[in-house]
Amino acid sequence: MHGWQTMALGCRVNFQAPGNSFQKLRCRVNFQALKFTPQIEALGNKLICILQEKEPFVSLHLRYEMDMLAFSGCTHGCTDEEAEHVKQLRLQGMCPLTPEEASLVLQALGFGKHTQIYIAAGEIYGGESKLKTLRTGFPNTLKKEKLLDSEELRPIQNYSSQMAALDFMVSVASSIFIPTYDGNMARVVEGHRSYLGFKKTIQLDRTSLVHH
């Protein structure tokens, strides 16, 4: 994954400038040559096949994880001034959406109750209890931990970057990709989907959403 990002950054050029044909070709060759390990490729492709066998699916990059939370729990021990600062960050759209907010957004966008939703994320803060509202609104909500056998995931389950690589593969292959936070993962997935033919990605206006 790190190699992918490094190579992608190395190919950041102005494609409008004249004389860049060779550089554009070099970038495309490098891009096509980048591969995950055979183990990751096999698991990622298995996940994609399981999901696609049922119906088109939405990949929801739900970044409601401990390391990304600027609210809900992280204000414990903060001064009133610090807690207010966190609140202002949230009002400026600088926090990932909660699972409850994501559920409301999906419904507002017109996705039906039986839409197949793949959660591209690590461990959700608060566990399954936090996903209750999302699962109620969308019963066909799935995670890699439920789609693959525990023995298949065991060799990589303690390596967050390898687990994220599976989410990356599934997100790139999804019918629609919806990030709830515009971090590195979301940007790389969106860029790859554009490269493959401008596959649909829905970017959310978090600033407007939190005020509603």
Give the CATH number for residue 166: 3.40.50.11350
Residue 37 is predicted with a pLDDT of: 92
Residue 6 has pLDDT above 50, yes or no: no
| 35-57: average pLDDT | 94
Whether 156 maps to a domain, the answer reads yes
- Position 117 confidence tier, pLDDT thresholds 50, 70, 90: very high
Kindly give, in sequence order, each residue whose CB lies less than 8 Å from that of residue 45, ignoring residues fewer than 6 positions away: 169
Whether 139 maps to a domain, the answer reads yes
Q: Which residues form the domain of 47?
A: 36-69+96-211
Whether 174 maps to a domain, the answer reads yes
Q: Domain total for the chain?
A: 1
Please answer whether residues 53 and 173 qualify as being in contact, where contact means their C-beta atoms are separated by less than 8 angstroms: no
Residue 155 has pLDDT above 70, yes or no: yes
Whether 2 maps to a domain, the answer reads no
- Reading the block at residue 185, the tokens are 């993962």
Residue 122 has pLDDT above 90, yes or no: no
Residue 112 is predicted with a pLDDT of: 93
Report CA-CA distances (Å) from 21 to 5, 98, 163: 22, 44, 36
Whether 152 maps to a domain, the answer reads yes
Name the pTM for this structure.
Answer: 0.76
Residue 103 has pLDDT above 70, yes or no: yes
Whether 27 maps to a domain, the answer reads no
Residue 115 has pLDDT above 70, yes or no: yes
Task: Calculate the average pLDDT of the chain.
Answer: 80
